[in-house]
Structure 1
Amino acid sequence: MKIRSHFTITLQPKVQSMLATSIECKRAWEVLENIAQSYGRARTSYTQSFTDGLTQMIKQEARTETDVQNMAKDAVRRFQRELESLFVQAIPAKRFSKTLSYVLFDAGCKLFRLHMNAPNFSIHSTETGDVKRRLVQLLKGLQMVGLGGDAAHRSFAHAMDKLLSEFVVSHYMKVDWYGKLSVTAKLKEWIKDGFGQLVLLVMECLTDSTTTVKLTFGMAEITSWQKMAIERLGRARADNLFDYIVNWDQSIGAILDLKEYLTTNSERAHLVVSFTGQLYRRLLRPGTTTTHILDIYIYVIRAFKELDPKGVLLERVALPIRRYLKDRTDTAKIIVSSLLADIQDEDGNHVDPGGDISIEIATEMLKPISSTANDHDDDLNWGDLNWTPEPVDASAEYKSSRANDVISYLLTLFDPGDFITELKNILGEHLLTNSDSSFDKEIRLLELFKLRLGDSQMQACDVMLRDVVDSKRLNTTISSSRPTKPPIRAHVLSSFFWPPLRDDTFTIPATVAEAQAIYAAGFEAIKDMRKLHWLPALGKVTVELELQDREVSVDCTTWQASVIHAFQRSSSEPQRVGGVARSVQQLEDHLAMDEALVRNALAFWVGERVLAPHPDTPDTYVVLERLTSAARTTRAEVEAAKEEAAMEAPGGGGVVTANDLLDRNRSLYETFVVGMLTNQGGMTRARILMMLKMAVPGGFPGGAEDVGTVLEGLREAGKVDSTGADVWAVKKG
């Protein structure tokens, strides 16, 4: 009772004051060491006092010296247990546990140097010796005074759990950007040689028997901790997977880390949910370009084929990307354009293709075509010795395919017909503007499409390519037998197989018309019973102009050449001061040319500093025979004029675009829509689109948005109206 009273009056208030308020992190070690030392001194003092009085009492009752010693030991042990219980009860349990947990965590961080750039994580290095000795001394001190029991074990477990998470996000576990290797082997090594050794050290301090500890912690525990650590590393990698996808393939080390993590269906499901959320937050947004989405989609394909070769995970995470790309109107066009784009010159140097081109798709075209591309999966092929069952976590729509190259995934985004239509348009434009090419890439692209879509689907494209190749030989033959001045080369096209081409008509210079007649005669001599129908708007011309102070040579379109030719002074035209002047109306009448083409040509020649607007007469242009200081234009003005010419252009190339067809045939589409709604009643936009594609000769070139534009025009005209829920009907009354 005297010892209890002494402890309650003198030591307990002192210890409780140390833990009465929140403890700063920098003081946590000091507080626990003071408690351990205070309790240690009290334990020694109280035990000595108890032993001195106990010995006299036992001697009076014991028979032998051995009995005295045994009875004394038992009594002292009981006394110390009661004393330790008194010590524990006097401590605020929650604050003591938190403080001890922090000290153990801090010791682990210092031992493994988690907050500094250390080369290794051994706890036996000389640099961490002081920390290790201090920790052992503290834990043995707490254990000796009874504070190393269950509460200390729980604090230790919490600290080790936190230490494990801290190590996973430390510099040791950074993605291997240079070596491109997994870091899981290093993590397993740390668990075995670092984390496990620390656990063993602490448990030896908090228990009485070293042998028991070593028997308790064996390889089973090490393996369990390694699995836990890899799971945490995998979740950390999964949370940043989009960043690793964007930086493919420098980030292949992170993908290999994830591959180690994905061992159960729940982990695979977590990865899919996490990455899908990242896609919606960071990629699938209205402001993201289609080209960027396609590039990221290709990175996703490559990364997930490394992560899961069977393709189950790819099928799941790619679904929102594929849906989003299908809703983009320019997806098919960009894919086909990128397949035809040149990103390397003849020496293998990188070339910027410009425009809406996916570099990753163009890069895929440089790879060999897979011989298994035409893969018709057949579950009833009993002779397939490589057959394997579908993965257990595959969805109902999952379909394994041996054609695992990127192009295969891209070509399945749309129906084959949509891709072929887009391919015809873009290939046609490409062939018309690259007539000097050897067409190796184009031939390879057609072979690629044949392997995946079938030979019969590519007949038109084959004919188009053959037309251009045959035209090169034909030009050589005719130019050698019937030379013309100016020299002329033609593309002889089979109109039935080509997409709609620009058919703008206008008067061409007489010398060019004579050259065309000579060429046509040569063609008819070679090709009996066949005649040429010229499409002047598709031509390209090299124009050389001789002005008073300079010569100008420039490549341009045929209508631009015709317009500048019209500024040539005729023999009957009187001499005037300054250059020849022509008005827009004069050029329209003289050349029988649309106003849009005339204005485009005029803006082009202003940009080339050959023409200038007349200072006194609106819509009139004059030839700049001399570039005087007053006539000189700045580079910015020249670029502005060229940009204006591009904007004034009625079409981007020789092939008629879908927008051109929509503008050209708008009245036809409006008539069909009004007729359908009159005969069949209200219809949704989707159904109207389906009916237009089937009923209109040549099909409807647009999509649902274009149908909406037609319907809005009819509504403004008072012919149709929406009845709600995107249902349209003929307006009554």
Structure 2
Amino acid sequence: MMAVVDNDQKSIFSQIEFAFPILNQQLQTKCTDDQFAKIVNDIKVLNIAPRVDRLVFQSIEQFIRSNVAPVFWKEFTNVTEEEYGFERFKNAVDGLYSNLSEFLPLLKRLQVLQAQCEIAKYLGHSLSNVLGRFNLTVRSTLLSQLPFGHETIIKQFYKIAFNVFCNTDSSIHGNLLGDGPQSQCGGCKYELENCQCQLIVFMFHETNRKLIELELLERLVGNVLTLLIHIRIESHVRKSCEGTFDVSQLELLENWLETVVMNWLTRIYSGGSSKSVALSQPIREAISKFKQKLLHFLYETYTKIRIEQLFNIIIEYPDSQPAIDDLRICLERTDLRKVLVETLQEALKTRLLHPGVNTPDILTAYIAAIKALRQLDPSGVLLETVTEPVKVYLRSREDTVRCVISGLLDDSPSDLADELIKGEYLQLDEGSVEEEDENWEKWLPDPVDADPCKSTQRRMSDIISMLVNVYGSQDLFVNEYRTLLADRLLSQLNYHTEREIRHLELLKRRFGENQLHYCEVMLKDVYDSKRIDGNIQSDTSYTLEEQYFLTSALILSAQFWPPFKEEWKLQLPKNVQEQLAKYVKAFEALKGNRTLCWKPHLGNVHLEIELKERKFDINVTPIHATIILHFQDKNEWAVEELAEVMHAPATVIRRKITFWVSQGLLKETTTDVFVLQEENAVKNRSVTESIVEEEEVESAMASASDQREEELQVFWSYIVGMLTNLDSMPLDRIHQMLKMFASQGPGAVECGLPELRHFLDRKVREHQLLLSGGLYRLPKS
């Protein structure tokens, strides 16, 4: 019995080779249905169906590995031109599909064998699908032989197809990607009369259909397809956002992704149909997931590009409001806040925070950043983080406060002037700020990177408050306003103060009346001066006396005005002094026990100068008038002689005398020797005029920073006394004790914590203090 079985088994294996000809690679061998049925029955009797199944698939794998795969991958080498790559990839897929199609009769016989012999209960459910197992065998065998650089022709194939698709699809009509001449097709690049777009579309869909049937589409071209789409998304986003900030792009980009990219993907997976209903449920789910990934990539790409452009977006705000709104939405959907902070800080550093940029321009950019970043992040965290280097840099510039005050008082439309008109109260970081009633339903917590200590100020501080907080104290701004107000009042030729009163009232709403009391007195001095001068001019005892010239005075209350810069006292000509003495006498007669002390280097002088060939009618400063009046007595003066007569430094005389040289009245004959020119002979006028104009705008008052430095020196004796008694103290303790003892009483000077820190740190650099472990101490003598 066993011998019969052995002989039967030898016979059946020869029959298997006949029924499944892949075993001996004779694919053309014919086996009739009756013969095949008998062989299947014998296999069933001998119970060797699982062994036959495995043997056939092993033979299939070996055949594909040795004959099919090398032929397929051979088409993927040595390709440079895109058109040739497109053709090679199509031919490779066609050849593979044709070779694998010859296995279909064999696979059908395996299915019959499975059904007749119930192989599924031996192989398991996962191996019962013959076609699925065959595709898995093909896929694993092919991918195990991937050649280097195989993605090149795949990329070329889909790139050409995508160009053609964008050029011909009616849903995106007008969005042609071809940049060639009009006689050339934008999709296939052929001449219009020889356009190959329709043929390319047909070959494209046929190739995808075959890859889908072989279950190779995702594994073979998935990475390349994703990379190509990413490149196209980035290119399209960059092109859409190039220099355009006043139009929202996000919705347009989302629509483009849906109508172009996703439509193209749907056509790929459906073999040409643009409707997703033609796809199976797993494919639709896969496309949906892929769409979410592409959307995220779109948001990320858009955000990165806008971050690169954010400096320009800020400068153009509020015209760039749509770009800010888009970026805010994308920041919520991506994790690029840190990239934004680092990129924008670097842009501010390289393009704004350096000596080549004027302080007003820095302030303009800073104000624009405040407005734009608040729209971008209403919590204020981005604003606080990004602009910290700007605040540090502004603090280092000497003219920052003056530029801020000038901007506040600018009559032409400006950001600071508009902010001043709003009339909000000043909010300082060091002060206690009461929370406003908020709508709790709209309340949102601060981001995780927020400083909880500044949450209240971050929400409430306006632009002016933020500029004041750069220095931590409003005293410096008030003093600078006093200085600027003094310059304006001293430079005008009349007693009009309506404009200055309006500005003062606006500032009082910001800084409080107590802070600006001195400024009120200054304006009152102007009003009183007008009244007093009117009384003197109407006094017959004064007007009947012989007068060399008309005199009017601005009478100042010295203790309320800022200190003056000049330390020397100008010696006026004798006749001018006599005229001023008459004015003082008339004032004393009017005011009784009060008198006047002149500031001879301040004021305006109206001169009428007559020469041989010309006349001058000009307004100049007293020192300029004094210089030219001395040439009335003598035609030639040396600078040292004038300096001695006028009691002024020679350097000042040398600088001021260039004005008359520019006007052609004086000429320098030798070094520092000038002579009066009666004839008209003006040379190099433009050069000297520029020097004089620059020199003429100099302030007569000491700067606010210099005044503040003198005020802070008041604290130094207190600090030395405290550290002498207590040896060492932290910053907070020093600040508390100064507020308790040194900042009491009328006219007391206040000092904020940041300003005190800078003051003490400067003392450390000057080796007058030591800082160790957060404690300040005096150096040992």
TM class by shorter-chain length?
0.7 to 0.9
Write the distance in 2 (CA, Å) between the matches of 1:208 and 1:660. Answer: 78
* Aligned twin of 2:165: 111
* Aligned twin of 1:608: 663
Match of 1:540 among 591, 604, 620: 604
TM-score of the superposed pair, with normalisation by structure 1 = 0.74
How far 1:461 moved relative to its partner?
Answer: 1.6
* Aligned twin of 2:514: 456
Write the distance in 2 (CA, Å) between the matches of 1:94 and 1:143. Answer: 24
How far 1:533 moved relative to its partner?
Answer: 1.4
Matched, 1:195 2:272: no
Does the Cα contact within 8 Å between 1:545 and 1:552 map onto a contact in 2? yes
User: Which segment drifts farther, 226-235 or 422-431?
Assistant: 226-235
User: Match for 2:702: what amino acid?
Assistant: V
* Residue identity (%): 21
The change in CA–CA distance for 1:85 and 1:527 in structure 2 (over 3 A counts) is: same
The change in CA–CA distance for 1:658 and 1:607 in structure 2 (over 3 A counts) is: farther
Matched, 1:431 2:471: no
Match of 2:674 among 621, 625, 629: 621
Write the distance in 2 (CA, Å) between the matches of 1:533 and 1:404. Answer: 45
Deviation string, structure 1 residues 514-536 (Cα, Å, up to 9, x no partner): 44344334444554433221111
* Aligned twin of 2:700: 654
How far 1:18 moved relative to its partner?
Answer: 2.2
User: Which segment drifts farther, 334-343 or 206-215?
Assistant: 206-215
The change in CA–CA distance for 1:542 and 1:9 in structure 2 (over 3 A counts) is: same
Does the Cα contact within 8 Å between 1:540 and 1:557 map onto a contact in 2? yes
Match of 1:560 among 624, 630, 645: 624
How far 1:729 moved relative to its partner?
Answer: 9.8
User: Match for 2:560: what amino acid?
Assistant: F
Write the distance in 2 (CA, Å) between the matches of 1:462 and 1:75. Answer: 97
Does the Cα contact within 8 Å between 1:467 and 1:493 map onto a contact in 2? yes
User: Match for 1:434: what amino acid?
Assistant: Q
Does the Cα contact within 8 Å between 1:36 and 1:145 map onto a contact in 2? no
Write the distance in 1 (CA, Å) between the matches of 2:725 and 2:64. Answer: 99
Does the Cα contact within 8 Å between 2:627 and 2:642 map onto a contact in 1? yes
Write the distance in 1 (CA, Å) between the matches of 2:750 and 2:451. Answer: 35
Does the Cα contact within 8 Å between 2:662 and 2:688 map onto a contact in 1? yes
| Residue correspondence of structure 1 range 231-630 to structure 2 within 5 A | 231-263=300-332, 266-285=335-354, 287-343=356-412, 362-366=414-418, 369-374=421-426, 388=443, 390-393=445-448, 394-400=450-456, 405-414=462-471, 415-436=473-494, 438-481=496-539, 485-501=548-564, 502=566, 504-569=568-633, 580-615=635-670, 619-627=672-680
- Secondary structure (helix, strand or coil) at the match of 1:336 reads helix
Does the Cα contact within 8 Å between 1:237 and 1:257 map onto a contact in 2? no
Does the Cα contact within 8 Å between 1:105 and 1:160 map onto a contact in 2? no
User: Match for 1:16: what amino acid?
Assistant: W
Write the distance in 2 (CA, Å) between the matches of 1:559 and 1:703. Answer: 40
| Residue correspondence of structure 1 range 123-272 to structure 2 within 5 A | 130=198, 132-144=201-213, 147-169=216-238, 171-174=239-242, 176-177=244-245, 180-205=246-271, 210-212=279-281, 215-216=284-285, 225-263=294-332, 266-272=335-341
The change in CA–CA distance for 1:460 and 1:139 in structure 2 (over 3 A counts) is: same
* Aligned twin of 1:88: 142
TM-score of the superposed pair, with normalisation by structure 2 = 0.70
- Which blocks of at least 5 consecutive residues in structure 2 are unaligned? 1-24, 28-59, 117-127, 178-184, 188-196
User: Match for 1:92: what amino acid?
Assistant: L
Matched, 1:16 2:73: yes
* Aligned twin of 2:20: none
Does the Cα contact within 8 Å between 1:416 and 1:453 map onto a contact in 2? yes
Write the distance in 2 (CA, Å) between the matches of 1:274 and 1:553. Answer: 58
How far 1:314 moved relative to its partner?
Answer: 1.4
Write the distance in 2 (CA, Å) between the matches of 1:306 and 1:145. Answer: 53
User: Match for 2:451: what amino acid?
Assistant: S
Write the distance in 2 (CA, Å) between the matches of 1:554 and 1:664. Answer: 38
The change in CA–CA distance for 1:209 and 1:13 in structure 2 (over 3 A counts) is: same
Write the distance in 1 (CA, Å) between the matches of 2:140 and 2:63. Answer: 12
Deviation string, structure 1 residues 332-368 (Cα, Å, up to 9, x no partner): 2222233334547xxxxxxxxxxxxxxxxx4431466
How far 1:382 moved relative to its partner?
Answer: 8.7
The change in CA–CA distance for 1:211 and 1:436 in structure 2 (over 3 A counts) is: farther
Does the Cα contact within 8 Å between 2:770 and 2:779 map onto a contact in 1? no
Does the Cα contact within 8 Å between 2:411 and 2:417 map onto a contact in 1? no
Write the distance in 2 (CA, Å) between the matches of 1:380 and 1:730. Answer: 42
Write the distance in 2 (CA, Å) between the matches of 1:81 and 1:583. Answer: 107
The change in CA–CA distance for 1:326 and 1:10 in structure 2 (over 3 A counts) is: same
Write the distance in 2 (CA, Å) between the matches of 1:658 and 1:81. Answer: 84
- Which blocks of at least 5 consecutive residues in structure 1 are unaligned? 63-73, 345-361, 570-578
Structure ID, larger Rg: 2
The change in CA–CA distance for 1:263 and 1:383 in structure 2 (over 3 A counts) is: closer
How far 1:466 moved relative to its partner?
Answer: 2.5
- Secondary structure (helix, strand or coil) at the match of 1:33 reads helix
User: Match for 2:256: what amino acid?
Assistant: W
The change in CA–CA distance for 1:111 and 1:461 in structure 2 (over 3 A counts) is: farther
Write the distance in 2 (CA, Å) between the matches of 1:89 and 1:707. Answer: 72
Aligned length: 661
User: Match for 1:652: what amino acid?
Assistant: E
User: Match for 2:650: what amino acid?
Assistant: E
* Aligned twin of 1:31: 88
The change in CA–CA distance for 1:443 and 1:366 in structure 2 (over 3 A counts) is: farther
Write the distance in 2 (CA, Å) between the matches of 1:663 and 1:209. Answer: 80
How far 1:547 moved relative to its partner?
Answer: 0.9
